[in-house]
Structure 1
Amino acid sequence: MNSLYAHHALLPQGWASNVRLHWNEHGELSQIEHDASLQAHGHEYEQQAQWVLPGMSNLHSHAFQRAMAGMTEMAGEGKDSFWTWRDLMYRYALHITPEQIQAIAAQLYAECLRHGYTAVCEFHYLHLNQEGSFYVRPAEMAERVIAAAEQTGMGISMLPVLYSYADFGEQALRHDQRRFSTNAEEILQLIAALECKRNAQVEVGVAPHSLRAASISQIRELVAALPVERPIHIHIAEQQKEVDACIAYSGKRPVELLLDSGLVNQRWCLVHATHLNKAEVQGIAASGAVAGICTTTEGNLGDGFFDLPDYIAAGGRFGIGSDSHVSQSPVEELRWLEYGQRLRLQGRNIAGTQAQRKVGDFLYQAALQGGAQASGRKLGQLKVGYRADIVVLDDAHPNLAGINSTDVLNTWIFAGNDNLVRDVYVGGQQVVQDGKHLRQAEIQAAYGECMRSLRAL
């Protein structure tokens, strides 16, 4: 099957009725018929769906952290924070094998696909073995994560992470950070080793972990060596402690320091960017970079609120990511992106513009565009030449009974907790049918075995 008849499809210009989508053998949309008629083949009609959307890009993922979701929700003796959570995460990361990271990533990606993500940007820094040395194949851990994406059908932008220092001022890494330790030359070698993996479903970019873990001079070296179309991601200004440490070290705030380097442009995704002043909000928007907002993780870790209204007013681009994977649902990320602003500002219907007043529509379409840009791939639109990454909603669900197309996205995002995704196609290949991943049983079995082993440690 290389076509799908949509009674209602979300096209770049908005909802359209009676649309037939065609894609080629490469998984690219090749034709979009408007005002089409449903065709019968003998006694059966062609493949059809009521509500058809572009799949969402998950622009920030640490796949291995899926295995520890729910295991850190216990109060300590003192005040808990991102930093106490990080210590637990480091201890957990020290035990994961290549086989286990593939099983974990496959489980995660299958879950993400079932909820409507069709692409992921994998911010991958678990490079080394338990002793802190490279594997015989230096890129083995990244290769395993890519294999999980291939196993599930998930599109992926692999982002090998440069992680050289423990804090500002090029402080030496701690012993429990030994599996992350890399310099710029080693990261470029990993990127070269992954070049053979690139195809229509796989891109390879780079990610300096943060300004705490990578110097500006190292980042310049990476940017200069990377092909110009490849994506670049970085954690930045996630915690106030990080902002304070950056000011103490450099006299500048993290986003200010990075923007002053002159490196940031549309290739960049600035992940979190939680603690910004007005000038930094304007600066990110003016640079054309994408802000990578990970609401459920930011809430789970107590990071704070992104300054969404001012950023929207400045024309800023943003997308969503599931980060530590306490949630695998784009609906939950978008819902809590809006709800967080409502709580912060004590108002309603925050995310929108004069051109698009429906909050769900604005959030979903903006996140489609931002996520696609951050991935470095042609995604996020049902448009000729773009990937045939397609989400079909469950028209039999009561929430969508008799609904008008103008209310679909608001209802999907803001009404109830059922997963309304019925079918998912990635590159024209169906990977989810009737809410279930086609390889779900084998993936869950491998994940279950992996988790029994990890929890026995």
Structure 2
Amino acid sequence: MPIHAKTTLLGSDWVHDVRIEIDQGRIRHIQTQANAEPGDERVDVLLPALGNLHSHAFQRAMAGMTETRAAGRESFWTWRNLMYRFLDRLTPEQIEAIAALVFMEMQEAGYASVGEFHYVHHQPGGAPYDQLSELSQRIFAAAQQTGIGLTHLPVLYTYGGVKQEALSGGQLRFGNDVARFLELVDDCRPALPETDSKLGIAPHSLRATSPTDLTEVLRATPEGPVHIHIAEQVQEVTDVQAMLGQRPVAWLLDNVPLGARWCLIHATHMTDAETTALARSGAVAGLCPITEANLGDGIFNGAEYVAEGGRFGIGSDSNIRISLPEELRTLEYSQRLREQQRAVLVSEGSVGHALYTKAALGGAQALGRNAGEIAEGKLADLVAINRDHPTLCALSDDQLLDGLCFAAPDGLVTDLWSAGRHRVKQGRHVARDRIIPAYRSAIADLLASV
């Protein structure tokens, strides 16, 4: 069904009275200065919808459970221990129900697609399921139920640390050597949902794989997105440098063919030289500002990275809070606190416009998705927002994205299309009334077992 928008962001320009025709999930035709026709979906402000480039869906069920402090011990690493204990109880059915809730919430927040960095592969204790891709297929089922665009990123997780320690505890559900990992990837291919889904790989980190394994898996998968956690925590940087002789980002730059298919998640702790080299590599920095703030990771070298033309996108990572505007807001505000000045992540003009449009393009690249802008031939990943809301009603076109990023509450999304699938209407996901009861039932069973 065609869409008619009062105001549309086409490239960098605001255009009024735009009519968009969609065919097989792609934008077939854009007509400007057009009148609405009978049967058109009519919206107020139409934007390219962002991709959420980094998610661990199951962690959504932990939100609010780890905000206490054990005297003298609170850190990322104690949070991780709690996460491992939580993992010991998750069933396939619960993973599917949690993922469906997460994907629904993402779409209602304005994300049309997601990169699911999926590392829970096996049963508690580490035994594989009869179908090696059982838990990946639970993610696929959640994506089909919600209609979100999915880039599935099975994780290679082989070791418990940089010294190639054996996996233990909750990590056993993640573990594969390279041969079984490649079998898992192959097992996922025929089950992928929807024609716009993508399959990539995710070597978890330089902590959880080895240079030899990384080389082998990259040789076996020459196409598709490659995502990796990198330089998130100071301890990680110290450990990798001690083992490999270089800091994590520097080691990657020198030892793998970084380029447009790569997304480096976090990259929080970089030297100036690493920041410049990463920016010039063509890879995407996958930034997760809410989770990074929640875990106390640190602050990304945003000013230097953007000044060098670096590409970035955003992700909700632990999914403790799924809010597209707040991710962008937190990203810019962290830079302001670090630099002690305003308007850091833009050289000139609207900060909100720069944040939104760059994150749209960077996220699309990271997900291997032909999206990120409204143009003929692109996937119809589109989001409509309500300009009549008190936060936005006084703003000019050129101020709209500043208002969305820095002043708006949640709930301004009226409609969302994922590759032309109209999944959010009047602010509600079309499957909300099925997804939420299923999640509540699953989480009640999970908590009863913990």
* Category of TM-score, reference length = shorter chain: over 0.9
Deviation at 1:37, TM superposition (A): 2.4
CA distance in 2: counterparts of 1:160 and 1:235, whole angstroms: 13
Deviation at 1:175, TM superposition (A): 2.9
CA distance in 1: counterparts of 2:11 and 2:346, whole angstroms: 17
Q: What amino acid sits opposite 1:19 in the alignment?
A: V
Pairing partner for 1:406 from 376, 379, 398: 398
Q: Secondary structure at the match of 2:391?
A: helix
Question: Which deviations, in whole Å up to 9, do the C-alpha atoms of 1:399-448 show, x marking residues without a partner?
Answer: 22253211111001111423211111112121111111111011000100
1:69 aligned partner: 63
Pairing partner for 1:370 from 359, 362, 366: 362
Q: Secondary structure at the match of 1:201?
A: coil
* 1:193-232 superposed matches below 5 A: 193-198=187-192, 199-228=194-223, 230-232=224-226
1:455 aligned partner: 447
CA contact (8 A) 1:220 1:263 kept: no
Q: What amino acid sits opposite 1:223 in the alignment?
A: L
CA contact (8 A) 1:64 1:104 kept: yes
* 1:182-261 superposed matches below 5 A: 182-198=176-192, 199-228=194-223, 230-261=224-255
Q: Secondary structure at the match of 1:132?
A: coil
Q: Secondary structure at the match of 2:103?
A: helix
1:430 matched to 2:428: no
Structure-2 change in CA distance of 1:266 and 1:20 (3 Å): same
Q: What amino acid sits opposite 2:371 in the alignment?
A: L
Q: What amino acid sits opposite 2:18 in the alignment?
A: V
1:108 matched to 2:102: yes
1:8 aligned partner: 7
Deviation at 1:327, TM superposition (A): 1.2
CA contact (8 A) 1:205 1:232 kept: yes
* 1:356-367 superposed matches below 5 A: 357-367=349-359
Q: Secondary structure at the match of 2:150?
A: strand
1:383 matched to 2:381: no
Deviation at 1:46, TM superposition (A): 3.3
Q: What amino acid sits opposite 1:370 in the alignment?
A: G
Greater displacement, 3-12 / 167-176: 167-176
Deviation at 1:283, TM superposition (A): 1.4
Question: Which deviations, in whole Å up to 9, do the C-alpha atoms of 1:153-205 show, x marking residues without a partner?
Answer: 11010000000011112122123311011111112111111111344231110
1:132 matched to 2:126: yes
CA distance in 2: counterparts of 1:57 and 1:192, whole angstroms: 25
CA distance in 1: counterparts of 2:364 and 2:170, whole angstroms: 34
Q: What amino acid sits opposite 1:106 in the alignment?
A: A
CA contact (8 A) 2:311 2:362 kept: yes
Pairing partner for 1:397 from 370, 385, 389: 389
Q: What amino acid sits opposite 1:408 in the alignment?
A: L
2:335 aligned partner: 341
CA distance in 2: counterparts of 1:259 and 1:103, whole angstroms: 39
CA distance in 2: counterparts of 1:157 and 1:253, whole angstroms: 29
* 1:286-305 superposed matches below 5 A: 286-305=280-299
Q: Secondary structure at the match of 1:292?
A: strand
1:146 matched to 2:145: no
1:314 aligned partner: 308
CA distance in 2: counterparts of 1:349 and 1:301, whole angstroms: 25
CA distance in 1: counterparts of 2:441 and 2:275, whole angstroms: 45
Q: What amino acid sits opposite 2:207 in the alignment?
A: R
CA distance in 1: counterparts of 2:251 and 2:158, whole angstroms: 18
CA distance in 2: counterparts of 1:236 and 1:245, whole angstroms: 12
* 1:22-101 superposed matches below 5 A: 22-24=21-23, 26-39=24-37, 41=38, 46-101=40-95
Question: Which deviations, in whole Å up to 9, do the C-alpha atoms of 1:360-404 show, x marking residues without a partner?
Answer: 000000100110000011111111111111111013311222532
- TM-score under structure 1 normalisation? 0.96
1:177 aligned partner: 171
Question: Which deviations, in whole Å up to 9, do the C-alpha atoms of 1:242-301 show, x marking residues without a partner?
Answer: 011111112210001111103211100000000000111011112100000000000000
- TM-score under structure 2 normalisation? 0.97
2:111 aligned partner: 117
Q: CA RMSD in A?
A: 1.2
CA distance in 2: counterparts of 1:444 and 1:38, whole angstroms: 35
Deviation at 1:329, TM superposition (A): 1.1
Greater displacement, 63-72 / 213-222: 213-222
CA contact (8 A) 2:392 2:408 kept: no
CA distance in 2: counterparts of 1:366 and 1:181, whole angstroms: 35
1:18 aligned partner: 17
Question: Which deviations, in whole Å up to 9, do the C-alpha atoms of 1:205-244 show, x marking residues without a partner?
Answer: 000000000112211111111142x000000000000011
CA contact (8 A) 2:26 2:419 kept: yes
Q: What amino acid sits opposite 1:51 in the alignment?
A: V
Which residues of structure 2 form unaligned runs of 5+? Answer: none
CA distance in 1: counterparts of 2:388 and 2:401, whole angstroms: 16
CA distance in 2: counterparts of 1:247 and 1:258, whole angstroms: 12
CA contact (8 A) 2:84 2:169 kept: no
Question: Which deviations, in whole Å up to 9, do the C-alpha atoms of 1:49-82 show, x marking residues without a partner?
Answer: 1200011100000000000011000111223100
Q: Secondary structure at the match of 1:200?
A: coil
CA distance in 2: counterparts of 1:125 and 1:46, whole angstroms: 42
Identity of aligned residues (%): 44
